[in-house]
Structure 1
């Protein structure tokens, strides 16, 4: 059975809610899924990793994700085997820092050699009241595209 880790970066629970809503979609197609709220670099050892990351302050990482990002930056592991998807959540009224945490994490992962599968989903709290309304169809399409590409 293929392994998927959903790594959550959340301040008020919105990203965790998204993770919990999309988990069954992956389970229904045969993935063993763990939702991880206190991630370590070791949690990147999976067939696929999905990041659900909210942005706080001026484009900052949520507190629970800060140690993980610091460890990634400090250790600079080669992540050439990592295949991932990313759901970034933010508020466009913050301008340039909209989805800043997700964008910064995406850049860091790619700098370390990881491969993002498909485009990053950016959910704007100004347009989407319930983030899972945007995340569920995106994940369904994402799963379908990965199946079609043989991933």
Structure 2
């Protein structure tokens, strides 16, 4: 059975809610899904998943939430080869913060690609100013992503 790891970067639980809402969509496609709420570099690379999804909130200043900062720092400092990592990214933010909107998701996307990871499809950016419940936008995006990337097993 193929594996999917969902990594959550959250302040107030919105990104975790998205992860929990999309998990069954992947299970229906035949994936064994694990959600990582306190993710580490080891979680990311051992054992390597077949597919990875990041659900990433951004702090008001554009930074990673506390539960995710260690993982992002470890990737930046240790420079692991992520060439086998195939991923999708859902970034949550608030456009009222201007230039820092979805800053953590954008920074993670850049960081992963600098280390050889391959993003499948486009990054989803959910704006809290337009969408009250992030999963209202994330669930249809994941359904389309599964089809467009032919992720059914």
Which TM-score band applies after superposition, normalised by the shorter structure? Answer: over 0.9
The runs of at least 4 consecutive aligned structure 1 residues that moved more than 6 Å come to none
In 2, the alpha carbon distance for the partners of 1:129 and 1:122 equals 13
1:11 aligns with 2:11: yes
Q: Which moved more, 1:28-37 or 1:139-148?
A: 139-148
1:54 to 40, 52, 57: 57
Q: How far apart, in 2, do the equivalents of 1:84 and 1:105 lie?
A: 11
In structure 2, the residue matched to 1:126 is 129
- RMSD of aligned residue pairs (Cα, Å): 1.3
Q: 2:88 aligns with which of 62, 65, 85?
A: 85
Distance 1:142 1:98 in 2: 23
Partners of 1:75 and 1:108 in 2: how far apart? 12
Structure 1 residue matching 2:129: 3-state secondary structure? coil
**Aligned equivalent of 2:30:** 30
In the alignment, the residues of structure 1 paired with residue 76 and residue 65 of structure 2 have an alpha-carbon distance, to the nearest angstrom, of 16
Q: Deviations over 1:48-95 (max 9, x none)?
A: 000000000210100000110111111100111100000000000011
d(CA) in 2 for partners of 1:14, 1:98: 15
TM-score (norm 1): 0.96
* Unaligned segments of structure 1, at least 5 residues: none
Aligned twin of 2:98: 95
Q: Which runs of 5+ in 2 are unaligned?
A: none
Q: What SS does the aligned partner of 1:147 have? A: coil
CA distance in 2, matches of 1:57, 1:91: 8
Once residues 136 and 42 of structure 1 are traced to their aligned partners in structure 2, the CA distance between those partners, rounded to angstroms, is 28
Question: Between Structure 1 and Structure 2, how many residues are aligned?
Answer: 150
CA distance in 1, matches of 2:60, 2:136: 24
Alignment partner of 1:74 is 2:80:
no
CA distance in 1, matches of 2:3, 2:84: 14
